[in-house]
Amino acid sequence: MLFNSFVFLFAFLPVALLGHWAVERLKPEWRLPLLLILSVAFYGYWDWRFVPLLVVSVLANWLIAQIFVQSGRDMLIALAIITNLLVLAIFKYWNFFAELANTVPGVHAPLFDIALPLGISFFTFHHIMYLTDLKAGRAPRYDLVRYGLYIAFFPQVLAGPLVRWSEIMHQFDERPYERSDAEERFARGLMLLIAGLAKKVFLGDALAAYVNPIFEMAAAGQAISVGKAWQAMLGFTFQIYFDFSGYTDMALGLGLMLGIVLPQNFDVPYRSVSLQDFWRRWHMTLSRFLRDYLYIAMGGNRKGLAVQIGALFATMTLGGLWHGAGLTFVAWGALHGLALGIGVLWRRAGLTMPKPAGWVLTMLFVMLTWVLFRATSFDAAVRIYEGLIGLGDPEFAIKWRTILVAALVATVGPTAWMLVHRIPPRRWIAAAFAILFVVVLFKIGDDANYEFIYFQF
């Protein structure tokens, strides 16, 4: 079920909140089992056939962790991580690699119609983070309920944020409604949920209507005019931001309402003055995962310049592949890795750049590479690029009003998290958010609801 759906907002969420409040007050020892049951039910609403995959994944990894703690055999952790990656590869990448193999003469790899379980990339990475830290002696052993909730907690199971065990496990043992600021936290969580809904419905979905038809035209082989190409590139730049950051705001808000503080995932990324700065602000929990569990493991910046640049390129290329089973995603990641490597060389040479110029170059690079990320093929991306430089129809009509509003909100305003936590407690503010929520509901009722972009990853 979508966060921006009536079944979630008027059925699942009220039941979850009332049940959570009741057990926290009357039977606090039932709080975590209830949250786990709710999380599995939420996941199963999408497709009950994938519930066994989630349950078996939790059970298997938890059992291996218990056996490792008792035996101390490092090989168990290595095998568990490899198995997790193999399961991910089968569901997400089998046909991708089979099609690549079939380009080799004499090879006939079979293709299968395999449905992609929602959230599999995210809960696989959660397993990897915990098991890696357990092997390194940084993570303790947990009981099955706590570990299962760490993996399946419903606000973040489908599209993150990627949460380290150390950020959330200690919160499971708290009594959130006994805190002195419990009511304030709940209220700010509700405001954050409403703000995320508004970003998704009024900006992300509105821009999708501008963007999707143009990329569909490019995929169908049609020439793209200058105006449509720029509309597609600019529109998607802000669509993906408001779609994904809106989801994250909702996840963080739901977490606060349930007494859990989840890590932030965005910090006004379109203000970045370098690509390195961008990746410190965009999808921050993924950037942190790639840095700590791939880049540093490959040597990072500890083994010389050549290793550092190679590790950056490999990390970002794999990060691109993580986003989707397609060569366009690989190319997107590789270009970011290459550009980050150039940035390292630039800084090593002692060169500087004025911040305005750095911002312009960073935004141009990010926007141009978003075309690769969104296009369904290289041919479709080339048609958009041709339109951008005027090789197609010179017509320059562009729907700019929503794009302009989105650009201003994304670059000038604070993040929703910062805004919600800076707002003083006032009745008129509560009334304003209530009105905004009602308007959002009317909008949801009038329009088709778009799935969140990152659900496909």
Residues recognised as catalytic: 323
Distance CA 246, CA 387 (A): 30
- For residue 411, CA distances in Å to 210, 269, 270, 331, 427 come to 20, 8, 6, 27, 29
Structure tokens at 15: 């039941």
Distance CA 103, CA 125 (A): 30
Instruction: Say what angle helices 355-374 and 378-388 make with each other, to 10 degrees.
Output: 140
Radius of gyration of the chain (CA): 23
From first CA to last CA, the distance across the chain in angstroms is 17
Specify whether the CB–CB gap between 323 and 457 falls below 8 A.
yes
Specify whether the CB–CB gap between 265 and 285 falls below 8 A.
yes
Structure tokens at 167: 């950020």
Distance CA 450, CA 457 (A): 15
Which helix H or strand E contains 86, and what residues bound it?
helix 74-101
Other C-beta atoms closer than 10 Å to the C-beta of 302 total 9
- Residues 12-15: contacts with CB under 8 Å, at least 24 apart: 12/38, 12/41, 12/42, 12/45, 13/254
Specify whether the CB–CB gap between 452 and 244 falls below 8 A.
yes
Specify whether the CB–CB gap between 450 and 242 falls below 8 A.
no
Distance CA 251, CA 296 (A): 29
Distance CA 333, CA 314 (A): 9
